[in-house]
């Protein structure tokens, strides 16, 4: 079983990281970190998944290109917040400049290694590459001098996030202690169809790129791909996995630990949805296949009416049935059971597709907790899936109403 740690991306052997204030977004305070580097001592086996949005930011396009040319080898990732570098006049050239500057600052030979890039922030405005160009050498020096911090790197990619998302796990395999670390950002524009948001995962496991890619793809599908805050798929979603190759490991043990790590990150992302006051966990069981269960659970967490009901601590199960019903999944509404649960208790509100008499005040008491679980049983098969979302609050509109300003 994997053990959780707070080491983040510098937890695994062979990695360093750091963050700095560059001033990417005009007027940002000097204590707002907005530029990060995660780098390894040597070239790493690498894997990645990216957004499926047809509109893709320049960093996504360039990182795909770099991975293909390098044979899935990466040594460094440079990331910025404050600007998505997407749909802007010089977006691709600025992404390439970020890579070149980072190579020069770290002394990386572009022919022997590779640097990938990721950005997040406002779409459609020109990236202030000049401030990035000035800041990268100092950031690289900090990292080289061992003035490293997984926390500073994680803080530097935050936008509307209210909490840092940095975590690591350790497990034992083949006589070795293997570590997997990660950092992520995400609070809004979250409805992934790949991975989600910006996320960097590092490990000292010794696995080839092909196995890392399969492990990442499979883990993302049941974790980050099951998070939704607002139904908007980002143009910049990127998840990178770098393996420094120090320790042999059983592949299955690695996959289990990676999935556990990304599950924790998925929950953190959903709980930190813009303006959120409740983390919503929706579990669907009794389905004929896992895809159906996932589709139904996602429909529930994406329903604005369900999200608003959870914000108001209202046990309005009719909205849940409605959200199930407008999917393309074939199920029998007259066999559906629904239950709400939290640390304050649980209450069954629907059995066999029909409402039950229940104590509204007790239901409200249960739904006032920070994490709410919606449990749905279809009574059709043996498959299940869990997805994560958050409630819809007044603050979500406030945050997104003036996001650019």
**259 close to 222: Cβ distance less than 8 angstroms:** yes
In the residue annotation, 223 being an active-site residue is answered as no
Catalytic residue among 196, 203, 235, 295: 196
Distances (CA, A) of 282 to 233, 316, 320, 332: 20, 15, 10, 19
Backbone angles phi and psi of 272, in degrees to 5:
-100, 20
> Cβ distance 385 to 293 under 8 Å?
yes
In sign, the C-alpha dihedral spanning 1, 217, 98, 74 is positive
Q: Which residues contact 389 (CB under 8 A, 6 or more apart)?
A: 227, 228, 229, 270, 273, 280, 282, 301, 302, 307
How far is 27 from 274, CA to CA, in rounded Å? Answer: 22
* Total residue count of the chain as it appears in this document: 405
Neighbours of 145 (CB within 10 A): 10
Rounded to 5 degrees, what are φ and ψ at 396?
A: -60, -45
Sign of CA dihedral 308, 310, 312, 317: positive
Give the catalytic positions in this structure.
196
């Amino acid at each position: 079983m994997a053990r959780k740690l707070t080491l983040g991306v510098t937890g695994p052997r062979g990695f360093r990281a750091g963050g700095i204030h560059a001033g990417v977004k005009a007027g940002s305070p000097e204590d707002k970190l907005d530029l990060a580097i995660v780098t390894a001592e040597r070239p790493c086996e690498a894997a990645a998944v990216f957004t499926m949005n047809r509109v893709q930011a320049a960093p996504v396009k360039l990182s795909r290109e770099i991975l293909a040319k390098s044979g899935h080898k990466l040594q460094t990732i440079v990331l910025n917040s404050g600007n998505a570098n997407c749909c802007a006049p010089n977006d691709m050239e600025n992404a390439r400049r970020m890579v070149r500057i980072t190579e020069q600052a770290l002394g990386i030979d572009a022919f022997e290694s590779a640097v990938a890039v990721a950005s997040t922030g406002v779409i459609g405005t020109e990236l202030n590459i000049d401030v990035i160009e000035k800041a990268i050498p100092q950031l690289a020096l900090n990292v080289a001098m061992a003035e490293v911090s997984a926390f500073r790197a994680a803080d530097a990619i935050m936008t509307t996030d209210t909490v840092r998302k940095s975590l690591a796990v350790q497990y034992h395999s083949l006589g070795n202690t293997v570590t997997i670390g990660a950092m992520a950002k995400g609070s809004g524009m979250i409805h992934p169809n790949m991975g989600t948001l910006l996320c960097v995962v590092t490990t000292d496991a010794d696995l080839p790129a092909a196995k890392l890619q399969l492990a990442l793809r499979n883990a993302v599908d049941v974790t980050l791909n099951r998070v939704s805050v607002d139904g908007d798929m980002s143009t910049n979603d990127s998840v990178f996995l770098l393996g420094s190759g120090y320790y042999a490991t059983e592949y299955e043990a690695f996959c289990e630990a990676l999935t556990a790590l990304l599950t924790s990150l998925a929950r953190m992302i959903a709980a930190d949805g813009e303006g959120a006051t409740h983390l919503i966990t929706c579990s669907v069981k009794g389905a004929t296949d896992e895809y159906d269960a996932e589709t139904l659970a996602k429909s529930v967490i994406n329903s604005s009416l369900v999200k608003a009901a959870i914000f108001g601590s209202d046990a309005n199960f009719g909205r849940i049935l409605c959200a199930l019903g407008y999917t393309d999944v074939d199920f029998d509404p007259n066999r559906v059971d629904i239950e709400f649960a939290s640390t304050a208790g649980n209450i069954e509100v629907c059995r066999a597709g029909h409402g039950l008499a229940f104590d509204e005040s007790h239901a409200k008491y249960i739904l006032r907790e920070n994490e709410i679980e919606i449990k749905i049983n279809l009574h059709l098969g043996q498959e299940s899936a869990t997805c994560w979302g958050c409630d819809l609050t007044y603050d979500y509109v406030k945050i997104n109403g003036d996001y650019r300003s």
